[in-house]
Amino acid sequence: MNLPKVETSNEFFESALREFWDAFKSNRGALFGLIFICFFIFLALFGPFLSPHDPSQLFDNALRLPPSFLEGGNSNFLLGTDDVGRDILSRLIYGARISMAVGFSVVFLSATVGTVLGLFAGYFGNKVDYWIMRLVDILMAFPSILLAIVVVSVMGPGLSNAVIAVAIVACPGFIRIVRASVMAERKKQYIMASQTFGAHPLRIMFLEVLPNCMAPLIVQISLGFSDGILNAAALGFLGLGAQPPTPEWGTMLADSRAFITTSPWMVTLPGLCILIVVLGFNLLGDGLRDALDPRLKK
């Protein structure tokens, strides 16, 4: 018998990946976002090799030097120095490590907790759903930075506490998104089918439903990175996050605020870094959403 050629799953996977990539790369913004992020990830990974100086080394003879391309700059300090003579470029590079680590841990924590709670709420419905959603409503009733401040002031300032605080703030978004897509999947017959094959509810939730809810989750994860980084920087700026002399971008902003008129580069550069990274993640998230959502396909 002559059978038609069956597309093997590997080919299928490759073709799906290619389709996704085609949709993704047609979105210029998303591509730029990806490039920005790759650049900062590169900085974060190879920080110690790339930075010209130790980020906390004080150069007594070079206080508040402007970047080297400006008048009075020193080519030894490419982006200038701060008020106590530390090299800003090195601090920014080390700051990228911190911000990436913060973004990753915030997303990891909030996505894990949020996904589990969202799965339970969407799958079981009724009382479970009610209580989880009321918790979410309460969390969402607070302005996010205020809630983070409350959490940090209870637990004490510091980078790891700031991460936990920001993660708590980010949870409701994940819970809602996962819950909504679980509720949509829950009605489909394959859930009933796997029940009739004797699958345990936990097995159905994590192995059957969750893989079908990945598209919105991936988008939320990439947006969660930017929110996490932004909120952690804000806490740093308020003095509740990373403590000086940690080269965290938000903390750097706060430290240099007094010199905004005399040495504007000290404020501008860390601010620019936050802007670019957050923008990059947002652009990437938008691009992922467009590429993963079949309804938005052209």
Partner 1 sequence: MLLKVEDLSIAFQTKKGLLEAVRDISFELSLGQTLGVVGESGCGKSITNLALMGLLPDTAQVSAKNVNFDGLNLFDLKESQWQKIRGKEISMIFQDPMSALNPSFKVGFQIEESLKIHEPTFTSMERKKRVISLLGQVGIPAPEERINSYAHELSGGMSQRVMIAMAIACKPKLLIADEPTTALDVTIQKQILQLLKDLQEQYEMAMIFVTHDLGVVANIADHIQVMYAGEIVESGAKNRIIHHAHHPYTSGLLSSLPGSQTPFRGKLPSIAGIVPDLFSRPEGCQFAPRCDYKSEKCQAHPPLETREVSRIRCFHPINEESLK
When asked if residue 195 is in the footprint of partner 1 (CB under 8 A), the reply is yes
**Burial annotation 152-191 (CB, 10 A radius, 16+ → b, else e):** beeeebbbebbbbbbbbbbbbbbbbbbbebbbebbeeeeb
Is 194 among the residues that bind partner 1 (CB under 8 A)?
A: yes
User: Of these, 212, 271, 276, 286, which contacts partner 1 (CB under 8 A)?
Assistant: 212
- Using the rule CB under 8 A, which residue among 197, 262, 295, 298 binds partner 1? 197
Return the biggest CA–CA distance within the chain: 85
Binding of partner 1 by 26 (CB under 8 A):
no
* Burial group, residue 203, by CB count within 10 angstroms (0-12, 13-18, 19+): exposed
261: contact with partner 1 by CB under 8 A: no
Residue (9 or 261) nearer to partner 1, CB = 9
Residue 149: CA count within 13 A, CB half-sphere: 9
CA distances in angstroms from 63 to 42, 85, 94, 258, listed in the order given: 29, 4, 20, 14
Stretch in the footprint of partner 1 (CB under 8 A) among 132-140, 162-170, 207-215, 258-266: 207-215
Subset of 104-163 contacting partner 1 (CB under 8 A): 126
Tell me which of 116, 199, 276, 279 binds partner 1, using CB under 8 A.
Answer: 199
**CA 291 from centroid of its chain's CA atoms:** 19
* Joined tokens for residue 42: 């590169």
> Measured from the CB of residue 288, what is the shortest distance to partner 1 in angstroms?
18
Binding site for partner 1 (CB under 8 A): 1, 3, 6-9, 12, 126, 188-190, 192-200, 208, 211-212
